Chains A and B, each alone.
Chain A
Amino acid sequence: MTSPLEHDYIGLSELSSMESSDKLCSSSSSLSAEDDPKVGARAPALNLKETELRLGLPGSQSPEREDGPGLTLGLPKSFVSGAKRGFSDAIDGSGKWGFSGGSGSEVELGKGGNLFSPRGENGGGKHTGPTGLVKDVGGAAGAAGQEKKAQASAAGVAPAAKAQVVGWPPIRSYRKNTMASNPSKNKEDTEGKQGTGCLYVKVSMDGAPYLRKVDLKTYLNYKELSSALEKMFSCFTIGQCGSHEIPGRDGLSESRMMDLLQGSEYVLTYEDKDGDWMLVGDVPWNMFTDSCRRLRIMRGSEAVGIAPRAMEKCKSRN
């Protein structure tokens, strides 16, 4: 696949950048010695901070540059899914997100990370959605959003090109492209659970603007998995229900979600090693984790003929 990198004047690919440490400096930082609160000010700062273009979403307050929660893109750890986890943390923490299509920021978010894309190219294929671009700063889960924000702002606004550094660091495009398309899943595995092994799989839900990832090893049975997924995707379901209120975390009860998931609305399916889409729940849990490659929360309407049985099966297992 052609990489957006070649067009990326800062030699950045959103993929790699997202996958890399959250301490990424914007490429401008490599030249401008952007203050990195973690590493400390760098001596020969060219200080392009002042000229740095920032994200200014319509109707939004321009996020501050100083220490403290900036516009948070970032999350404690790098990688895409790490990002998503962070997002969830942010969600849990602040309860200010939502997909009900309410405020403008959400709409931006829903656009799938175009803000990250250099020169408008959507390099954000892998991390659909605003992974962590929680606009409302509030109590965004302590992430080093500083640099990422700067990067996003730099990346999102092409004319800053002159200040950015093409071809630095001197790494062959081949390597950049290859590393960029390395599934973050692996890195995550190690990051999250050193030495215990883990099994991250993508979870998609029909109608949701972005996917999530779960580590199957953290669950002992189907029930745990099911409730975890419910929590994760509750936001979407609320949206699906047509509510236009900004959902607070508190507005959502687990039992309600369970109903939705186990009801005729959705069916949980998975893709196994052979590429077939199977109903979750048929085989023993261990066998399932061995063969599951990804999960999909399918709309009941698409699982015609399966749903009722699924429901029964789910219920009987639970």
Chain B
Amino acid sequence: MTYFPEEVVEHIFDFLATHRDRNTVSTVCKTWYRVERLSRRSVFVGNCYAVHPERVVARFPGLRSLTVKGKPHFADFNLIPHDWGGFSLPWIETAARGCPGLEELRLKRMVVSDESLELLARSFPNFKVLVLISCEGFSTDGLAAIATYCRVLRELDLQENEVEDRGPQWLSCFPDSCTSLVSLNFACLKGEVNAGSLERLVARCPNLRTLRLSRAVSIDTLSKILARAPHLVDLGTGSFTIDHRAEAYHKVMNNFIKCKSLRSLSGFWDAAPRCLPAVYPICGNLTGLNLSYAPAIQCADLIKLIHRCSKLQRLWILDCIGDKGLAVVANTCKELQELRVFPSDFYGGGIAAVTEEGLVAVSSGCPKLSSLLYFCNQMTNAALITVAKNCPHFTRFRLCILDPKKPDPVTNQPLDEGFGAIVQSCKDLRRLSLSGLLTDRVFLYIGMYAERLEMLSIAFAGDSDKGMVYVLNGCKNLRKLEIRDSPFGDAALLEDVGKYETMRSLWMSSCDVTLGGCKTLAAKMPGLNVEVINERDESDEMEESPSDLGRVEKMYVYRTVAGPRNDAPDFVWTL
């Protein structure tokens, strides 16, 4: 193979689709390393602190697409203090210096400032795609910079970010010459939107296929937009409320009818049941539907809608659909691959909106189901066993029983057997989230059977260190492990310290790990950053040297070649 000219090797590498494969071939020999790095166009950095931006940019000067992730997953649930880190500026600055050809940037759970957005906009003349997911720290001014300076922008995708509203002008900053937009998603913005600017923008972008509007956009404006862009494939409505007797309502329904290419619907902010029939005409074509932000739509109306969606592959819904509604899903949506049922009442104990019955129904009616996120009030082992039998193709299985440590209500047993059945049956399971009452046994099963498991989320589970050890010993492909409120301590943590270098990260909070244990880990494994997060009230005395025996509230361990980070706030100690 070494006799192949480098151009040929490079061409062969083009066929390698995944980062993993490309990373692997780069380790074969120096020549391959060089060929690979110079031809690499896309890099994925799963943890922004695992490597210095400079190193990435130096190694891959031809970089066109960069994806970086910042905070650990539990940051989504307010478990990580606000200013923990995950700053995007160093990455953008470095890329601006080293990869001027950058075209795409995707950031998740990072802090993005207006300054960074402006720098981004001005530094990359060929910039095409910006995707920000669960980020924060910027305002509409930053978006204005993007709109103004990115001349060939194709995608601006803002998913669930915290964006400070500084007015609607940003949308008007897209110059008249901007006709290249293919995808625009500003659903998470909370401020006013200039309807006229929006309509004009849509009108001059003939390639627009994805458009997700924010709540401030009225159904009237939506109607006009649909009239101008009937070729949309993915639509997020704005505010979906209108008097169903009004003429405007009929107009919007007629405009929906014209959208023959529409395959995915979301948004439905403030949707009132009476407005739903406006979308009936296109339901038959839908492969994706997200009604999870429309709590006013209750079971009966949901059922009426879902009856028409026989091609649905992805459904995000609130639990007011009930078991009854899920039965309808099971009967109608035979192509269903992904189901997410969110709680409309977050704190449980209330009306049993969905139970194990709904899940069993869906599993039996939808054999292609592979991705699940299910919030419910209760679950039984029997149900899980049935689900495991019906759907052996799960790749993502996340079950959240709202009441932590709740056992099987029928048998009063822990849910070990149920989850055990899932991991045993679903050989391709990559992601698993547990809940309910669980003992060490479930971890024994996970360690034994979940060979492909890459991410595991544990909360309020287990009896002893053994549980965690089963997982660490068993799951060969484990990349991310996040644990909260479980009785795992230093013995488990230190059982196999080498394991953590094979993983991206480990998070443990409200467990039994002590400061001493963390220090030991840090000392043994210099290739890891062991971060201890200690939030203290000002009223607490600052201990000069907290006892090693003291329990650590939050610990985040990750492998890195960058050494301890230099932007850690005071409350984060890297040991």
Whether A31 lies near B74 (C-beta < 8 A) is no
Contacts of A194 in B (CB 8 A): 273, 298, 300
Whether B78 lies near A167 (C-beta < 8 A) is yes
Whether A42 lies near B160 (C-beta < 8 A) is no
Contacts of B298 in A (CB 8 A): 190-191, 194
What 1/0 mask marks residues of chain A from 164 to 204 whose CB sits below 8 Å from any chain B CB?
Answer: 01111111111110110011001101110011010000000
What 1/0 mask marks residues of chain A from 1 to 20 whose CB sits below 8 Å from any chain B CB?
Answer: 10001100001100011001
Contacts of A39 in B (CB 8 A): 349, 352, 377
Given contacts A20-B347, A174-B160, contact A166 B78 (CB under 8 A): yes
Q: Does B403 contact A (CB under 8 A)?
A: yes
Interface segment out of the listed A21-29, A131-139, A301-309 = A21-29
Q: Does B546 contact A (CB under 8 A)?
A: no
B510 CB → nearest A CB, Å: 9
Whether B403 lies near A33 (C-beta < 8 A) is yes
Whether A186 lies near B272 (C-beta < 8 A) is yes
Interface segment out of the listed B117-125, B258-266, B404-412, B522-530 = B404-412
Q: Indicate the member of B74, B161, B246, B342 with the most A CB atoms within 10 Å.
A: B342
CA–CA, A36 and B378, complex, Å: 15
Question: Which residue on chain B has the smallest CB distance to residue A170?
Answer: B77
A283 CB → nearest B CB, Å: 15
Q: Does B134 contact A (CB under 8 A)?
A: yes
A188 CB → nearest B CB, Å: 8
Contacts of B346 in A (CB 8 A): 11-12, 16-17, 20, 169, 171, 176, 179
B247 CB → nearest A CB, Å: 11
Q: Does A128 contact B (CB under 8 A)?
A: no
Question: For residues 391 through 443 of chain B, which have their beta carbon under 8 Å from a beta carbon of chain A?
Answer: 400, 402-407, 412, 433, 437
Whether A44 lies near B347 (C-beta < 8 A) is no
CA–CA, A170 and B78, complex, Å: 9
Q: Does A230 contact B (CB under 8 A)?
A: no
Whether A182 lies near B300 (C-beta < 8 A) is no
Whether A172 lies near B77 (C-beta < 8 A) is yes
CA–CA, A187 and B297, complex, Å: 7
B472 CB → nearest A CB, Å: 22
Q: Does A227 contact B (CB under 8 A)?
A: no
Question: Which residue on chain B has the smallest CB distance to residue A172?
Answer: B76
B530 CB → nearest A CB, Å: 22
Question: Which residue on chain B has the smallest CB distance to residue A290?
Answer: B243
Contacts of B350 in A (CB 8 A): 20-25
Q: Does B79 contact A (CB under 8 A)?
A: yes
Whether B344 lies near A179 (C-beta < 8 A) is yes
A192 CB → nearest B CB, Å: 11
Question: For residues 241 through 264 of chain B, which have their beta carbon under 8 Å from a beta carbon of chain A?
Answer: 241, 243-246
- One of A17, A42, A179 near B293 (C-beta < 8 A): A179
Whether A168 lies near B344 (C-beta < 8 A) is no
Contacts of A176 in B (CB 8 A): 346
A122 CB → nearest B CB, Å: 19
Q: Does B138 contact A (CB under 8 A)?
A: no
Whether A175 lies near B342 (C-beta < 8 A) is yes
Q: Does A43 contact B (CB under 8 A)?
A: yes
Given contacts A186-B295, A189-B296, A190-B296, contact A169 B402 (CB under 8 A): yes
Known: A12-B347, A194-B298. 9 other contacts (CB 8 A): A1-B190, A17-B347, A24-B345, A26-B347, A42-B403, A43-B412, A169-B347, A189-B273, A190-B301
26 A-B contacts, Cβ less than 8 Å apart? A17-B347, A24-B345, A25-B350, A29-B403, A39-B377, A78-B345, A165-B485, A166-B77, A166-B78, A167-B78, A167-B484, A168-B404, A169-B343, A171-B375, A172-B134, A173-B77, A174-B160, A175-B292, A178-B293, A179-B344, A182-B293, A186-B270, A186-B271, A187-B296, A194-B273, A194-B298
